[in-house]
Amino acid sequence: MKRPEIREYEDKCTQNYAPACITSCPMHVDVKTMIRYIEKDDFTGAVNCFQKNIPFPRIVSRICDHPCQLVCKREEIGGSILISKLERACIEFGELKKKKIKPIKKTNKKIAIVGGGLSGLTAALFLYEKGYQVTVFEKEGKLGGRIRSRVKDGLLSEELMDADFKLLDDTDIQLRCNCQITDIEEQLGEIFDGIYDSRSKDLLIESGYGEDSIIQKICDGRSSAISLDRQIKGVSLTEGRENEVAYKTELYVNIGQIEPRATTVTPRLLDGLTEAEAIKEAERCIQCECMECVKQCKFLETEGSYPKKYVREIANNVNIMMGIRKSKNMVNSCTLCGLCGEICPNGLNMADVCMSGKVGLAEKNHMPEAIHDFPVNDMLFANSNYFKLLRHQVGMEESKYIFFPGCQLGALAPTHVLKAYQFLTENLRGGVGLYLGCCGAPAAWSGRVDLFNQTSEEVKDNWEKAGKPIVITACATCTKMFSEQIEGIQIESLWEIYDSCGAEIQGPIANTHPVITVHDACTARHDPNVHKAVRSLLKKKGYRIEEMKYSRDMTKCCSFGGLVSFTNTSLAKEMTDTRAMESDKDFVVYCAMCKERFTKEAKSSRHILDLIYDEPYKSGERDHKYIISYSKRHENRIMLKRKLLKEIWGEEMEREKEPYEDINIKLTDEIERIMDDRLILVSDIKKVIYHAEDTGSKIWNPNNNHYTAKFQPGVITYWVEYSIEGDVYTIYKAYSHRLEINKKIEENAHRKYRL
């Protein structure tokens, strides 16, 4: 990613912006953290947090005008937090440690501060820390200026003020009380290198809260001191000071789901809170943050931070020359569903960021092919002669339509593909062709741009060869891929066709009230026609739909998107489970992989074609039809192509068998389950055995008469432990890895065991 692109993404995330209570305070007191300490009954932690930005905490806690309280988000749902009272509670119940102020590096420059009020003293402390020799001139006999008059209103006391001003005793700041300056230029001009007249209204930073604002006086002193320091050093007076004083925050805070809660304490003006009251009041704080996308995305939540930080980490990992690229796991854990972009008030879509990261890592050969080897090879299988098929309707030389069911529906429910195609040819005029294959999504989702472009070109060529017909898709991902890659293509979903043709759905769920919920495919997020057609079909048959909060354009991913179910299986399971628990109703889906994911995790769900072509089912009943091994899915595709060719076009499927296919193996159910978990196909096992028997490259264990062999047909090395009885090979263990075996180790192993 280029720097401007990174900055553009980062600027969209508001999470690291401070809440309004902090930004509206001219001194930017971290109110949010302070209140969190109080909530935990840690008043010392709270007061330490408070005094980080406030030089005179006792005074401010009593008479601050608290602009923070005016903008508190809780005001809209129960009334502002009593921040002023909580600051006072910090001082009264926490241990206020004495600050130690030391110059960074002393200089011989002299600064005069005229006026010993809060503004002048704040400037004096700041400039002293910068190393200047500071002298304060105050016309009265005591420091404090006009705030001394506040003693009579009962909020302040002489003791509190004097306690705060003791901070100056440990410094070398010269305090000249009873010293009135009437002519600054004449009295001070030749002696000092810089002068700050805190009595002047012509401040370098304009006051935003009026003449009587205590917190603004302190801010004016700090800001003017910064300006004076910069002026003496000859640097810019304005650069990098945009948010130095109070400003409006960009933080987005959604209070829609927060329960209104009013304060339970009503102290009089001069009264403080008890410890218990302060803690209870602190508990009302909603701890303003955005995190809207993180709250609804297991991937973003699991990473433990928020998008702005993720953007930077991914960009750095793509661009670094050397080092560990930890973001490989991050980009491969995003389903690319785009929900975050819909939720984000500024439209920050982490799918775009993660996809860019994948592509960048793949282009620089930092994304090992083995990570996505299985789904990519599954795609290549679907686009090979095992499954690929392109035909016009029987008896026709051209097609107005062409049906592209997608690779996964053909793998999981091949009979549905056959019946759907028959339905289309019976109900549509102008010829309905058939195109079996894969749209290339696995290549795109793995960042393999060249392979994806190659696949897209092949699809485009076949579409043009068929006469550029209207493409009917049964998969929302195929729809998305084609519409984005093939210019001029016209696409209709199978569900729109069924709805317009009045397709019959099987009877309502047996022995129960037919209430269901629709889980929309995330790749159909921006396809309202599909949303409408699916619901129309269900309603026509009498199903009542109870919508989930996150549906249609706000739907969540089942966890198959982005190949997460292959690259981060534990997170994928958590995503699927979380989505399944969002409704106690049976799911109806229109994506084969959504059906597979939910069924695998024991959520009762039905593909809409199941409702059209299968027998009625009982509510809550798990449909095991979609829980089949990856090897069986390959077999289903081959069977579907063979059946279509024979029953519709009267052709036999012509395919040369590979030598390994004739090997007869015996598997237990447990071994098949392990193979599926480890993404090992039956064909992989057969290849290993064929290679071992053909070359003699195998290890014999005399203790159990088993053989162990390995074979690396691509980037993955497969290992198999087996025994031989006649022409049957019984499999005991199977596993895989992407490490290359050291030749010397292999030779030593061959010497140790008889081959």
Task: For residues 613-639, give the mean pLDDT.
Answer: 87
Closest CA to 51 of 213, 171, 167: 167
pLDDT at 390 over 90: yes
Task: For residues 506-513, give the mean pLDDT.
Answer: 72
Q: Which value, to the nearest 10 degrees, does the dihedral of the CA atoms of residues 97, 147, 227, 137 take?
A: -100
| Whole-number Å distance between alpha carbons of 138 and 673 | 85
Q: What is the pLDDT of residues 8-37, one digit of tens each?
A: 999 999 999 999 999 999 999 999 999 999
Q: Where are the alpha helices (DSSP H) in 413-465?
A: 414-427, 441-445, 449-465
Q: What is the pLDDT of residues 491-506, one digit of tens each?
A: 999 999 999 998 888 8
pLDDT at 749 over 70: no
Could you count the other beta carbons within 10 Å of the beta carbon of residue 654?
7
Q: What are the C-alpha distances in Å from 698 to residues 444, 630, 671, 713, 723?
A: 38, 26, 20, 16, 12
Secondary structure (H, E, C), 278-328? HHHHHCCCCCCCCCHHHHHCHHHHHHCCCHHHHHHHHHHHHHCCCCCCCHH
Cα R_g (the chain), whole angstroms: 36
Q: Where are the alpha helices (DSSP H) in 348-493?
A: 350-363, 373-382, 407-412, 414-427, 441-445, 449-465, 476-485
Q: What is the pLDDT of residues 136-195, one digit of tens each?
A: 999 999 999 888 888 877 888 999 999 999 999 989 999 999 999 999 888 998 899 999
Report the run of H or E that residue 596 belongs to, with start and end.
helix 592-600
Average per-residue pLDDT for the chain: 91
User: What confidence score (pLDDT) does residue 150 get?
Assistant: 80
Give one word for 28, left, alpha or beta, with left for phi > 0 and alpha for psi -120 to 50.
left
Amino acid at 201: K
pLDDT at 465 over 60: yes
SS3 state of residue 114: strand
How many CA atoms are closer than 13 Å to the CA of 525, on its beta-carbon side?
18
User: What confidence score (pLDDT) does residue 154 get?
Assistant: 81
SS3 state of residue 126: helix
**Which residues are paired to 389 by β-bridges?**
436
